[in-house]
Chains A and B, each alone.
Chain A
Amino acid sequence: MRYAMAVDTKKCVGCSDCVVACQTENNVPIGYCRDWIVEVVDGTYPQLELELRSERCNHCDNAPCVRCCPTGASHILEGGFVMVTPEKCIGCGACITSCPYDARYPHPDGYVDKCTFCMHRVKKGQLPACVATCPTKCMYFGDLDDPASDVSLVLKTRKHKTLIPEAGTKPQLYFLI
């Protein structure tokens, strides 16, 4: 089992619904976020291109945040969920520095927090909150080991990329381009 997410940049409008849905679902304090929008503009008026991306933890196969964690708070669960156990986290911030995607933030309660792929929902057969609410349905989530899953199907048929592949983290957040 290997959970992954794909975001269709051709459909994303950058509305931030994924951000606020995550904040309310996961009780992320106002002023912090586990996912965010990136806008990339390329070209000169009027020859322009715009890419909008909903970004979050890449739940890497080769996760530097897990490797560098001194207490074992950062760990990988079955299915590839990169998780943090708040009780074990001492808030040292090594994982924050090690993450090439800047996906982690220091929670005001003293531990490091990040996207969980909404594991609590996924275990119930639900989609992550961001995927479930997205008005453009630009996000696909599922098990890469299941060839019939939404994410497998869309990655089979669409051109895609990952971010900073050269970091060698084997990220599991794909962008359809």
Chain B
Amino acid sequence: MASRRQFLKTTALGLGGLTIGFSAFAYITDFSGLKEATGGLKINLTRTPTYCEICFWKCAGWVYKREDGSIWKITGNDEDQHSNGRFCPRGTGGVGIYNDSDRLKTPLIRTGERGEHKFREASWEEALDLIAEKMKSIASSYGPESVALMNHGSGGKYFGDLLKAYGSTNIAAPSYAQCRGPREVAFINTFGEAIESPERTDIRDTKCLVLIGSHIGENMHNGQVQEMSDAIDKGAAIITVDPRFSVAASKSKFWLPIKPATDLALLLSWINVLTTENWIDKDYVEKNTYGYDLLKVHVSTMTPEWAYGITGIQPEIIRKTAKEMFNASPSVIIHPGRHVTWYGDDTQRLRAVAILNALLGSWGRRGGFYNPSTSVLPSYPHPPFPTPKTTWRDAFPGQFHLADESVSSKICDATIPAELRDFSFKAWLVYGTNLIMTFPDQAKTIEAIKHLDLMVAIDTMPMEITSWADVVLPECTYLERYDSIRVSPHRKPSIALRMPAFEPKDNTKSAYWMARELASRLGLIEFFPFEKLEDYLDWQLRQMGSSLEEMQKIGVKTFEREADDLYFTPGEQHEFSTPTGKIELYSTAFADEGFDPVPVYTPHPEPPSGFYRLNYGRAPMHTFSRTSNNPNLNDLMDENTLWVNPKVAKEWGLTNNQPVWLQNQDGKKSNFSIKVRVTERIRWDSVYMVHGFGHATKQLSRTYGKGISDTELITNVMTDPIMGGTGMRGNFVTFLTEKPEEALS
């Protein structure tokens, strides 16, 4: 009965409070139910601090290790503002990333064609030598600027430093152009500041939370979910605009089941109501904004009756919800969302969101948007980075000036040689992002990769992207390494430590080690003066009055704000970082660039007969495509389903759990089938699936072939002319009830 004893033993481990530096032994004496069964067992339990890497929220917590060295559980750190001691399912299920037997185990060098996933195992020496030699030859033939880094996650920083030292600033994260970019550009050009991550939304104290397609609760951004729950407790009114009856919609005072792709018309009609009825924060608007009169004239014809014809939302509901927002103001949040690259006019839609917040005076106000504070990490002096001769922007003259970060998908575009462009990318380093399931238009991504002289993928798991690499570098998981001190913005400045709870499994290494080894081979070692990252962290922490030793014990340290400026002081005339120094209801920068200075609604294509708009979203237990093989999270949800309205199901004769394949408007068929979920929670003109399934990488043994990848059906990409974002919600699919010939099995 060894395994039963194991069960009892671990059940008895819930003692807590046993940390490194405390007594390492606990003796079970006062647990009557199990005392006899454990036979007076001595238990050695350690816990080490970490911050989570399963998503970008980076909650700080504790990793508990059993005496046999195996992982027991991960829980939140009570002192952490991101988690408040409560991890989300993904963070709790982080144990699975460590235990996953499908992990990358040793460096791999490609032997087959790109995409065939044929590799041979290699030593670190050989793999790193090969990359360094190739990088040297690319630098001499084409210049170091032709190397780009695509990254997502903590270790990307070290490859970023490597690239900057090498001579390229082409460092991009898909989290910008495939996700939150439009909102940052919209808010920068309205308030002079971005939203950033975690969002500066003061949800816990809001009286009215307006969600535009944002499915908080299904997107498990921990702090926001927690605060939405606090707001529900306090009786806040939630208004949800979504064609799908989301979880958030079910918790709302008003659910507006909008016709897809018409959100901007609704937003403009709200602005019309607020300005017509004078339901605005007059003093705030007068003191702080620029362009009110121009805005008012602009929206004067965009009445609720006008919007009704476009959105299907009753005029009286539009007025009623506008009044609800005004009554709550300034403690109201028209939420900027996060994944907002939908229709190509996304920056303009988010501008309308920003304008609504400005009119209601919520920016800088309690229950609206607070002013975040961030700890500043000292950096150890190193030689200045060289100035690159070109950047990705030179490939797109006259375009995307307002993009405040690199546009990953444009780097992809500029990798495919073009006659009118004298510059193409020759190498990609891809850190922690599965670009094949991240970029829309997979055919283009693959074409770009085929043009590369060098493609390196750094990951913990085999993924679609690693199968396209020339060299795969296996990283150890976040539970097996140090990483940079976390200094995310929040209500109070804070720092959090990630340290290894375990030795790296197999032949895996940390990103810091890899980047430094490459730097050494490229003659750039002076940019990485510390051999061990922990020595650098200790140096940084000591500059801040802490130390590695202290942080190993406490995990998180929170500081007081230097000034009492979480919110604006009443009546304050604030200086905003915009061209006019005001909140720009009328964007002077947009006008200068030739874009609409106030948002204009333009209709988007609708699904042809027999086709349905493909909508996609998140499940609370998964992050993108990276967690679907995690044994613990896969156990919670092992495939996605296709949400179909009962009317549509009846028309097609579809039943629950019936497998269907999908084909989009361009004839692209899905690799695999997906099970139908007949539900009233979806409109009749669209279907819905959770993103991140339908993996075609056989090395992912648990998740291969389970469900459909929405990304493979997104071939129509609507590019945002302002910042280059990839609008992905203009794709339409139809059902195939028979397996198509080209489908994978």
A positions within 8 Å CB-CB of B: 10-11, 13-17, 19-21, 23-27, 30-31, 41, 43-46, 48-50, 52, 77, 83, 86-87, 107, 109, 111, 116, 118-121, 123-124, 126, 129, 132-138
Contacts and interface: CB of A to CB of B under 8 A. Distances in A.
Contact of A87 (B14, B37, B226, B632): B37
Contacts of A119: 33
Contact of B218 (A13, A25, A26, A48): A13
Kindly name the residue among B4, B30, B637 whose own CB sees the greatest number of chain A CB atoms within 10 A. Answer: B4
A137 B86 CA distance: 9
Interface in B126-144: none
Nearest to A136: B229
Kindly name the residue among A15, A19, A23 whose own CB sees the greatest number of chain B CB atoms within 10 A. Answer: A15
Which applies to chain B's interface (DSSP): helix, strand, loop or mixed? mixed
A126 B16 contact: yes
A13 B31 contact: no
Interface stretch (B71-79, B169-177, B376-384): B71-79
Interface string B81-101: 000011111001101000000
B680 A45 contact: yes
Interface stretch (B5-13, B403-411, B707-715, B733-741): B5-13
B15 A132 contact: no
Contact of A15 (B4, B255, B621): B621
A129 B633 CA distance: 17
B250 A86 contact: no
A98 to B, nearest CB: 22
Contact of B89 (A16, A111, A121, A129): A16
A126 B85 CA distance: 13
Nearest to B85: A132
A153 B312 CA distance: 43
Given A24-B72, A27-B6, A13 B225 contact: yes
Given A13-B217, A23-B632, A135-B222, A123 B3 contact: no
A149 B621 CA distance: 31
Interface of B: 1, 3-4, 6-8, 10-12, 14-16, 30-31, 33-34, 37, 72-76, 85-89, 92-93, 95, 217-218, 220, 222, 225-226, 228-230, 232-233, 245, 247, 250-251, 255, 257, 620-621, 631-633, 635-637, 645, 679-684
Contacts of B72: 24, 27
Contact of B87 (A45, A83, A133): A133
Nearest to B620: A15
Nearest to A32: B635
Contacts of A118: 14
A41 to B, nearest CB: 6
Nearest to B228: A136
A86 B620 contact: no
Kindly name the residue among A21, A123, A138 whose own CB sees the greatest number of chain B CB atoms within 10 A. Answer: A21
A27 B11 contact: yes
A135 B680 contact: no
Contacts of A43: 680
A153 to B, nearest CB: 13
A45 B679 CA distance: 9
A45 B226 CA distance: 28
A46 B11 contact: no
Contacts of B14: 25, 118, 120-121, 124, 126, 129
B636 A16 contact: yes
A44 to B, nearest CB: 6
B132 to A, nearest CB: 41
A124 B12 CA distance: 11
B225 A45 contact: no
Contacts of A133: 75-76, 86-87, 92
Contacts of B232: 10-11
Nearest to B632: A20
Given A20-B93, A20-B636, A83-B33, A11 B8 contact: no
A122 B509 CA distance: 40
A109 B645 CA distance: 43
A113 B87 CA distance: 25
A31 B620 contact: no
Given A15-B88, A119-B33, A133-B75, A86 B4 contact: yes
A25 B10 CA distance: 8
B12 A11 contact: no
Contact of B10 (A11, A27, A109): A27
Contacts of B30: 123
Contacts of B228: 136
Nearest to A25: B73
Contact of A45 (B76, B220, B245, B637): B245
Contact of B229 (A25, A30, A45, A138): A138
A72 B723 CA distance: 69
Contacts of A19: 89, 636
Contact of B635 (A30, A107, A123, A124): A30
A51 B633 CA distance: 23
A111 B4 contact: yes
Contact of B95 (A24, A109, A121, A134): A24
Given A30-B632, A136-B226, A15 B681 contact: no
A50 B229 contact: no
A158 to B, nearest CB: 11
B634 to A, nearest CB: 8
Contacts of A134: 86
Kindly name the residue among B3, B631, B683, B684 whose own CB sees the greatest number of chain A CB atoms within 10 A. Answer: B3
B637 to A, nearest CB: 8
B406 to A, nearest CB: 32
A160 to B, nearest CB: 16
Nearest to B220: A15
B89 A124 contact: no
Contacts of B635: 20, 23, 30-31
B645 A17 contact: no
Given A13-B247, A124-B15, A45 B257 contact: yes
